[in-house]
Each structure stands twice: as C-alpha cells, then as structure tokens.
Amino acid sequence: MELKEGEGSKFIIHWPVYNCMFRRSLHIIFLIVLPLFCLSQNGKPADSVNTHYIDGLHRQLVSAKDDSARMMIIERIGFFYENLNADSSLYYINEALNIARQKHYTRAEARTLATLSGLMENQGRYAEEFELLFQSLKIAEENNSAYDIARANRRISGVYAELQNYPTAITYLLKALFVDEANNYNDKVAIDHYALADAYEKINKLDSASYHVNFAIEHKDLLKRLMQYVYAIDGHIKQKQGNYEQAAVSYTTAFREAQKSSDLISSSALCADFSALYAKRKLKDSAILYALRGFTYAKEAAYKKGIMLNGNLLAALYDSTQPSLSLQYYKIANAAKDSLYGINSLKAIEDLVAREEAKQKELEDAKSAFQIRLKLYGLLTGVGVLLVFALILFRNNLQRKKANTILQEQKTKVENALSELKSTQQQLIQSEKMASLGELTAGIAHEIQNPLNFVNNFSEVNKELIEEVKNHLATGETKSKTEELDELLNDIAENEEKINHHGKRADAIVRGMLQHSRTSTGRKELTDINALADEYLRLSYHGMRARDKDFNAEIETDFDGSIGKIKIVPQDIGRVLLNLYNNAFYATSQKLTARGSQLDAGTGPNVPKVTVVTKKADDKVLISVKDNGPGIPQSIVDKIFQPFFTTKPTGEGTGLGLSLAYDIIKAHGGEIRVETKCLEGLPAGLPVEASRRPARSAQSGTKFVIQLPIA
C-alpha cells in the first residue's frame, strides 16, 4: 500500500478496498509491539547489565596506577553517564579534563573536550558545545591526531544538524569520513555513515539516507551502543516513504536497543516518534501514553529537546479535552525551545560561528599568501637553478672543446705512433723472414756442398786416369797394357756414375729447396709430414754447421709411418719446423758454451742432442721437437709466444719466430705448447761465461709439441 500525507493530517489511500484491512492489521501490530515497551514501576529501563559495567569501571579506577590510566577511566565513566545523569557526567568529564591539562596530555585533552561537548548538546548549550569542539579540533590538528580530528569534525556536524543546518553538517561529516577511511577506523566509518543517513533524511534525500543507514545496519557489530539511533533513522525513512508497518518495526527495534543501554535520551526521542505515529493513526490514548513517558525520560536526563518534542505533542493531544493541561505543557515546551533556540542562544552561536569562520578565513588567507610566497620562491629558485645549469653547461662545453682538442692531438700522436709501429713491425717481420731465409740458404749451401765435393773429387780422379790412358796408348799395345787400360776405363766409368749420382742428388736438393722457398699460396695440400719434418731438420742442422764449423749435435728421429699425408700449407708448417729446429740447435750450443768446453761434452748427458718425433693420436698428429739445452725459466714461459719477446742477445733474434709459429698453428686449427726443465744455476736461453761452474745435474731441456688436425 502507498500512503500519502494530505492536508489536515488526513491520508488518501489509493486502494480503498484494503482500507479496513490495513487499519485492522496496523492495530494488531501496535497491540503486539506495545508489551515490548513495558517498563519497571518507576518508569526506567532495566539497567542490570549497565550496573555491572559501571561497577567494573569504578573498580578499575581504584586500581589505576598512573594519571594517564585514571584519566581515561574517569572520561569513560563520564561518557557512560552522559545519557543517564547529566550532573554525574559533567563531574567526571571535568575531572578527566583537569588531569589532561595538568599533565599536558594534549591529545587526551582534545578527546575529553569532544566528550564534554556531547553533554552540552544534550542540555541544549550549543554555543558552549561549538566552543569546546573548535578547541578540540585545533588541538587535534596541532598534534596531527587523525582520530581526534575526525571525532571533532563529526561532533561539529552534529551541532549543525541540531541547528537544522544540514548541508554544513554533511560537509563536516564527509571530512570525518575521509580521515576515518584513510586510517582504517572501521567503527568510526560506520558512525559516519549513520550520521550521514540522519542528515540526508532530514533534507528528504531518502535514497542517500537509505544507502548510509543500510551500511550502518550491515556493520552493526561495530556500532554497539548506537544501534538505537540507527534503527530510529531507519524508522524515519520508512515513515517518509509511507511504509508505516516497517517504520513501527524499526522504532520497536530501536527502543529495545535503548533499553539495553539504559539510554534515557534516545528512549525519550523514540517515545516522541511513537506518539506522533499513533497521533497520525488517530489512536489518541496510545499517543498520550508514549508522549508522557518520553517527557519523563527527558526530564530525568535534562534533555531539553526531548522536553520540547514530547511537551508539544502533549499540548496538541490535550488541546481538545484538557485545555489547561495543554497550556501547561505548551509553556514547558516553549521554555525548552527558547533555551535551545532562543535569541540569546542563537546570537551566541552566531557570534561563535562567525568568529570561527573569521579564523578559518584568516587561516585560508595566510595559507594563500604562504602558497604565493612559495610559488615566488620556487620561481626564483627555478631561475637560479637554470642560471647555474646554464653556467655548468657553458663550462662543460668549454671543457669538452678543450678535451676534444687534446683528444685529437693525442689521436694524431697515437696514429703516427701506430703507423711507425706497423712500419717497424713489418721491418722486423721482414728481418725475421730474411734471417730464416739466410739460415735456409746456409743449410741449402751446406747440403749441396757434399755432392759437389764428390763431383769435383771424382772429376779430378778421372782427369788423372785419362792422362794415364793416353800415356799407355802412346807406348804401344801389349797384352798387359791392355788389361791396365781396361781397369782404368772401368774406374773412369764408375767415377762417371758417381759423378752422375751426386749431380742428380744436388739437382734434387736444389729443386726441393726451390719448391719450398716459393711464396705461400695459403692453400692446404696433401703433404707427407714425416718427409717435410726430416727435410727441414737436415737443412736447419747444416745451416747451424755453416755458421759454426765446430758445432756437432746428435740427431734422433722417430717418425710414425701410419700418419700418411695430411692437408696443410707446407711452406707455413716448414717455416714453423725450421724455427723450432733452429731454436733447439741454438739451445744445445748455449749449453755447450755454459760447460766451458766442447771436449767435456763428447759423451754422456752433455752430448748436444735434438729429438724429433711424429705420432698419430686419434684424429690428430703430434710433432715434438726436444732438445737437451739449458731450458727456459718458469718466470718467462708464459711470454715466449708474445711478439718481440726473445731470450737471445740483442741482434741475434727479433722475437717474432715463435709468435709467427703460434699464429700459423692456430690458423691450421691446431695447438702448440712448451714443456721445459731449467738447468740448475743457469739462466736458460741467455749466454753465460765459459768459466761458470758446471751444474750438478744436466737433465734439462725444452720440448715443443705441435698438434695438427687430420683433415
């Protein structure tokens, strides 16, 4: 059913058929609800639970050990009596406030001021309430106490609501809600919503009011002793929506909650609501009953607003039956109204609000001026920073130009030095090549010298034999002479064969050397590695002999015949082997020099010896070149493959031989490593004086191992 309030408090029912049924059902609800409001004989709600609560607080007060604890307990006792006994509440709250001020508990002072303001509100002393709340808000903001800031804003909104300035009340409530939500004060958030519901209900924004009151009901476990107010607001909303049955249910639930907490103030207000509802339903006796009870509660709690509401209801209800009694209640209600909203009271409130607004405006003006100064300072600072930044950029630009000039000069110097280094490197490489070529040429010359000596010697012998043959022919033929001639001619023929043999040998040596002395094409060819190793070994040895006629060394070879031919660049590998052989023979010659005499080196471990071994290992070929020279010290082993590093005296080596050998072997996908044992008391690789005392052990030497892949 939808009911609308018409003129003269009459109701228009859209569904007339159900009018009688509605009245009957509403009367039944009132008859059911009425026993729930039964009170004790003295007219007060039962308070056994609250007696235990207040007794517990008093026991805690007796056992409190410090002023802080005492102050909080006293403040709670005062808050408890707020809706029961105004004088007791005022006494205890003032006691708590005095302790807070004496001990300089500023946050506690802010909270106690807010609590005291509630008592002032119940007594209708709104001007004093405003002053207390503004003091509380100021202290809370100075101490940055979020809890007390929200509480002060919430209570200020309550005063504005009492003065029916609901838009301003909503503004302060939204401030409180923002702070409470930001700090997760969930119980206070629920209170904010119920207060917003009350304010929106008063300005008839029922949708907003319903949203906030439903939120409060859903979180009723957080509101505890405040649910009577929440259900009362819900009843107001339902009544304005025309849902009287649900309004009565909400009022009934609210009254039960008020009884549980012995709340005389809310009980008084709810009695006024019930009385008004009964008056609308033309149930005058019930309306008078609840108005009288509400009036009694208001007087006991010194609740002026309750006196005014219930007094006005009684004046209206008694107007037609007991005019004198009606006038009496009218005067009482009017006196309460004057006390609450009289000219003096309103003037005090207006003055207080005006002062507070002036303070707020002054603060806003100061804040605006401060912000303007900040902006000005910020602008000046920004300009200063830009100037400094510009100067830094200018200085950096100059430094960068200087640095670029210096870098360009250094770059030119480095490029010139690099060019000179490359030129020097090329010269050293050419020198190394020429040295290798000289050693190779010496070896070739010494190798060819042997067959040429045979050719020359046999040619001389043949010349003499031919002269003898001529002499024999000139003296005539005899049998004996014929036999001698045959022998001479046979000797000449044998000599010619030997001349021819050694000539071919010299020709083969020359052709072989020419073949190996050709410029490397860089292309790999199938090559007999054993033949190549043996050939360059002999060339190196004869080259050493060509430079030093007195040099002799024992050569030992062990070639693995199963290797066959492998793909290599023969000229490059030959150069590597020649370099290793030359170093080996050089090392053995240095060891002989170190012993002081070659006569002592003829036998035993002092005999100069170079050993060359080839071996096939899986898919690799190993070539080792070992000498029994003085060895290489461990301190320089890691440096021997570095370019231009040499242990030979100045002028005898370029330091590129082993470096080139290392690069050639790496280019073939192989490896080269060195194993050495240094001769005791002798710095390996360096010439020493012949007078040096021989070492106790001659078991020294160096072995280079080349590893090449079989491709």
Percent of the chain surpassing pLDDT 70 = 75
Cα(400)–Cα(561) distance, integer angstroms: 69
Q: State the pairing for strand pair 565-568/620-627.
A: unpaired
For residue 673, report the phi and psi dihedrals to the nearest 5 degrees: -135, 165
Give the tokens for residue 29. 């609800």
Q: What integer pLDDT is reported at residue 703 of this predicted model?
A: 92
Residue from 202, 203, 179 nearest 191 by CA: 179
Give the tokens for residue 159. 């005063």
Count CA within 13 A, CB hemisphere, residue 684: 26
Q: What integer pLDDT is reported at residue 503 of this predicted model?
A: 78
Residues in the chain: 711
Residue from 124, 166, 532, 159 nearest 341 by CA: 124
Positive or negative, the CA dihedral 312, 314, 316, 318 is: negative
Q: What's the burial of 87, exposed, middle or buried (CB within 10 Å: 0-12/13-18/19+)?
A: exposed
Q: What integer pLDDT is reported at residue 45 of this predicted model?
A: 44
**First-residue to last-residue Cα distance in the chain:** 106
| Relative orientation angle of helices 570-595 and 343-474, to the nearest 10 degrees | 80
- State pLDDT tens for residues 330-353: 888 888 877 766 655 545 555 556
Neighbours of 399 (CB within 10 A): 10
| Relative orientation angle of helices 244-260 and 227-240, to the nearest 10 degrees | 170
Q: What integer pLDDT is reported at residue 401 of this predicted model?
A: 86
Place 162 in a pLDDT band, splitting at 50, 70 and 90. confident
Cα(492)–Cα(501) distance, integer angstroms: 14
- State pLDDT tens for residues 454-512: 777 777 777 777 877 777 777 765 556 677 777 777 878 777 777 877 777 676 666 55
Place 610 in a pLDDT band, splitting at 50, 70 and 90. very high
Give the tokens for residue 309. 């509401």
Concatenating the DSSP letter of every residue in 599-654 gives: GGGSSGGGS-EEEEEEEEETTEEEEEEEE-SS---HHHHTTTTSTT---SPTTS--
Domain boundaries, the chain: 1-36, 350-513, 525-709
Place 28 in a pLDDT band, splitting at 50, 70 and 90. very low
Q: What integer pLDDT is reported at residue 25 of this predicted model?
A: 45
Q: What integer pLDDT is reported at residue 57 of this predicted model?
A: 79
Neighbours of 210 (CB within 10 A): 18
Concatenating the DSSP letter of every residue in 227-288 gives: HHHHHHHHHHHHHHTT-HHHHHHHHHHHHHHHHHTT-HHHHHHHHHHHHHHHHHTT-HHHHH
- State pLDDT tens for residues 231-265: 998 988 988 888 888 888 898 888 888 888 788 88
Neighbours of 5 (CB within 10 A): 13
Q: What integer pLDDT is reported at residue 706 of this predicted model?
A: 94
Residue from 451, 685, 439, 449 nearest 547 by CA: 439
Cα(146)–Cα(144) distance, integer angstroms: 6
Task: Look up the CATH superfamily of 525-709.
Answer: Histidine kinase-like ATPase, C-terminal domain (3.30.565.10)
Cα(196)–Cα(212) distance, integer angstroms: 6
Residue from 673, 458, 440, 464 nearest 544 by CA: 440
Q: What integer pLDDT is reported at residue 428 of this predicted model?
A: 66
Single-letter residue type at 701: G
pLDDT at 286 over 80: yes
